[in-house]
Amino acid sequence: MTSETAMNFPLLSLLLWLPLGGVLLCLIFRKSVESCRLLALATNLLVLAIGLGIAFTADAGSGGWLIYEDYSWIEQFGIHYTLGMDGLSLLLVLLTAFLQVIAVLISWRIDYHPVFFFSLILMLGTAFIGVFLALDLILFYLFWELMLIPMFALIGIWGLERRVYAAVKFFLFTLSGSLLMLLAMIGLYLLHGEQTGVYTFALESLKQTELSLTQELIFYLCFMAAFAVKVPLFPFHAWLPDAHQQAPGAGSVDLAGLLLKTGVYGIIRFAFPLFPRAAEMSLPVLAILALFGLFYAAAVAYQQPDIKRLVAYSSVSHLGFVVLGLAAWNQTAWEGSMLLMINHGVTSAAMFVMLALVRQRTGSNEISKLGGLWQSQPNLSAFFLLFSFASLGLPGLANFAGEILILVGTFASKPLWASIAVVGVLMAAIYMLRLVQSVIWGPCCEPFEKQDLVTREWLVLIPLALLVIWLGCYPQPLLDPIREPVTLLLQQGGLP
């Protein structure tokens, strides 16, 4: 796997650095807001186009990588610049590019330091793509931390009243997790070096390190600290509702759609393959936390007076489903988890887009001040209804496909877990319907902006809606590319 696949053109690097190049251009053209906006849009569209190009042309080469790049970077420490893309990372990169386009489009009218805003959004793009492609631990860590800074700024500068509180909470939570991960990475590096004499941070080599069970458990816990915070797994989720509530629309889209996915991705790409025995021991704990979080977050969501917090808790609940699938540890459940990850990325982003639009029109996030939106905004409300039902798992719409595969897979190995999780689906209906009820039905609360959807908003919502329906009715094109990576990752886990 370490052998360098001959590539004429570093396509992955292009994909990765393109958004950052956009940032530089933004700085050059910082005088003109218009051009920066267009630049951000064009850059992300280009990333999306390249991603789609790869999706349609690339076929799996050696070791299951579609594209692989490897250069030596800091030789003294054995740090490489290694990027690899398999079906799974391809889908996540596509999701990133797509949601970035959405994020730019919904922040079109932002008026507080727009150039800075769009630069940060672009920077997030590079960070996400880097996380999904990096195969060297240090490189991964670099992008992992790079996500933190723009997001911190987005929440802290463009957020609502309690933005600083939320931003600091987010920062402290994620940083404390990832510092532990960095420690474990260095520890692993040293141990591997002592054993083999080769000091390297390459994921593939480090998988071969021989560890005692105690060492494995300690390292695993450190890695999981970073990932569990990002997922977020109960009880490490407390930063998310605040971050969502305060973040601007685009920030919420990136948070729910992408940032949370990096946690799950980290677990399956790094934590499980590096420490298979510890992972195996932790599965029941993971399952219990996931199940508990699923119910707990749903119950808390049901009580929220703020619509953004409600949807934030619904994310915690859905991610509980994803982790449950991982804990079930079989092909179907894992494919379901990956699928739900993508589907949730789309639906939750769509939900946050809706909430941003609702806020634009009503000036409020509070349930008690909303209602009867259908009366003045039927088109907006129809999309709201569609995305809400996708989120609560209506068959034929996005989330259901992932959930049912998770349930089928989980039932095969752990019938009881699956049966309990089914009840979670009911809870989703209860809190989502409360949201729908309080926003679009009921007596009308006069919105101060009567304008129904404008063209730019149609452009955002129609692709989202089509995607939500397509992913629900025909998820097969997504299941095919993740099949092989999932099989490989399961084998590396080395469990039966």
Partner 1 sequence: MVQLLALIILLPLSGGVINACFGRRLARPFPAVIASGAVIGSFLASLGVLPEAQAGLRTVLFTWMSSGSFQADVGLLFDPLAAAMVVMVTGVASLIHIYAAGYMEEERDHARFFALLNLFVFAMLTIILADNLLLMFLGWEGVGFCSYGLIGFWYRKTENADAGRKAFVVTRVGDLFFTIAVLWLFALLGTIGIEEINSRVLELDPTTVTILALLLLGGACGKSAQLPLMSWLPDAMAGPTPVSALIHAATMVTAGVYLLCRMFPLVSLSPIAMAAITLVGTLTALYAATCALAQREIKRVLAFSTMSQVGYMFMAVGLGSVSAAIFHLLTHAFFKALLFMGAGCLIHLAGHENDIFQMGGMRKYSKPVFWLFIAGLFCLAGAPLTGGFFSKDLILASAYAKGDVFHWAIYGLGILTALFTSFYSFRLAYLVFAGEYRGEGHPHGLPRLMVWTLPPLALFGLGGGLLNLPHLFGGHFWLSGWLGREDLPHVSHHSEYLLIGTAVAVFLLGWLFAHLRYRKYSEPSRNSIGEFLLSAWKVDAFYDRLLVRPFNLFCRFCWQGGEEGLINGLLDGLASGSHGWSKSLRTLADGKIPRYLQGFAWGFLLIVGWFLLKAVA
Binding site for partner 1 (CB under 8 A): 169, 235, 238, 296, 299-300, 302-304, 330-332, 335-336, 372, 374-375, 378, 382, 385, 389, 394-396, 401, 404-405, 407-409, 411-412, 415, 418-419, 422-423, 425-426, 429-430, 433-434, 437, 440-444, 473-476, 479, 483
Nearer to partner 1, 236 or 265 (CB): 236
Q: How far is the CB of 254 from partner 1 (least distance, A)?
A: 24
Nearer to partner 1, 107 or 330 (CB): 330
Distance CA 443, CA 441 (A): 7
Nearer to partner 1, 120 or 490 (CB): 490
Nearer to partner 1, 39 or 342 (CB): 342
Nearer to partner 1, 121 or 326 (CB): 326
Q: How far is the CB of 463 from partner 1 (least distance, A)?
A: 15
Nearer to partner 1, 337 or 348 (CB): 337
Q: How far is the CB of 197 from partner 1 (least distance, A)?
A: 41
Q: How far is the CB of 235 from partner 1 (least distance, A)?
A: 6
Q: With helix as H, strand as E and coil as C, how does the chain read?
A: CCCCCCCCCCHHHHHHHHHHHHHHHHHHCCCCHHHHHHHHHHHHHHHHHHHHHHHHHCCCCHHHCCEEEEEEEEHHHCEEEEEEECHHHHHHHHHHHHHHHHHHHHCCCCCCCHHHHHHHHHHHHHHHHHHHHECEHHHHHHHHHHHHHHHHHHHHHHCCCCHHHHHHHHHHHHHHHHHHHHHHHHHHHHHHHHHHCCCCCEHHHHCCCCCCHHHHHHHHHHHHHHHHHHCCCCCCCCHHHHHHHHCCHHHHHHHHHHHHHHHHHHHHHHHHHHCHHHHHHHHHHHHHHHHHHHHHHHHHHHHCCEHHHHHHHHHHHHHHHHHHHHHHCCHHHHHHHHHHHHHHHHHHHHHHHHHHHHHHHHCCCEHHHCCCHHHHCHHHHHHHHHHHHHHCCCCCCHHHHHHHHHHHHHHHHCHHHHHHHHHHHHHHHHHHHHHHHHHCCCCCCCCCCCCCCCHHHHHHHHHHHHHHHHHHHCCHHHHHHHHHHHHHHHHHHCCC
Q: How far is the CB of 320 from partner 1 (least distance, A)?
A: 14
Q: How far is the CB of 267 from partner 1 (least distance, A)?
A: 20
Q: How far is the CB of 419 from partner 1 (least distance, A)?
A: 5
Nearer to partner 1, 39 or 425 (CB): 425
Report residue 251: phi and psi, to 5°.
Answer: -65, -40
Distance CA 73, CA 79 (A): 6
Nearer to partner 1, 124 or 425 (CB): 425
Nearer to partner 1, 221 or 382 (CB): 382
Q: How far is the CB of 67 from partner 1 (least distance, A)?
A: 25
Nearer to partner 1, 103 or 351 (CB): 351
Nearer to partner 1, 210 or 366 (CB): 366
Q: How far is the CB of 227 from partner 1 (least distance, A)?
A: 19
Q: How far is the CB of 371 from partner 1 (least distance, A)?
A: 9
CB 377 within 8 A of CB 452: yes
CB 167 within 8 A of CB 159: yes
Q: How far is the CB of 304 from partner 1 (least distance, A)?
A: 7
